[in-house]
Amino acid sequence: MPNLYYTKDHEWIRSDGEIATVGITNYAQSQLGDVVFVELPDVGRKVEKGAEVAVVESVKAASEIYAPASGEVVAVNEALEAAPATVNDDAEGEGWFFKLRLASPDEVAALMTEAQYKAFLETIA
């Protein structure tokens, strides 16, 4: 899937034109353990690439979620508030955190592909 990219902070971003969906990777959720709480950004919030946007808390730790690209939050996954464990069950699917209207789609293309991310994981495992 060529529109799926990854960051070194273990976020994924799937772009569909000017709107992109963001979440954490399977690797990230496995490192966190059981997710018990998520703090989602406000819709309408403008974010810069690399800025803290959301928080995920597990039984082990709290971790920030960073924006993989600049843009405006246009939707959040409210289902996570009632069922945060969805992040553990389907991190790269139904466990998405928020959607961005991209300020610059070129920022996404500069991120790692799935193959590059898998190679990156081998360097930290």
Looking at residue 40, its amino acid is L
Q: Domains plus CATH for the chain?
A: 4-124 (2.40.50.100)
Query: Tens digit of pLDDT for each residue in 15-72?
Result: 988 999 999 999 999 999 999 999 999 999 999 999 999 999 999 999 999 999 999 9
- Give pLDDT, residue 17: 85
- Strands of the sheet with 35-39, listed across from one edge: 35-39, 52-58, 62-66
The whole-number pLDDT of residue 27 equals 97
pLDDT exceeds 50 at position 2: yes
**Position 125 pLDDT exceeds 80:** no
Q: Is 54 left (phi over 0), alpha (psi -120 to 50) or beta?
A: beta
Q: Taking Cα atoms as reference points, which of 43, 50, 55, 54 lies closest to residue 101?
A: 43
Model pLDDT, residue 1: 42
pLDDT digits (tens, 9 = 90+) for 67-119: 999 999 999 999 999 999 999 999 999 999 999 999 998 899 899 999 999 99
Which pLDDT belongs to residue 95? 98
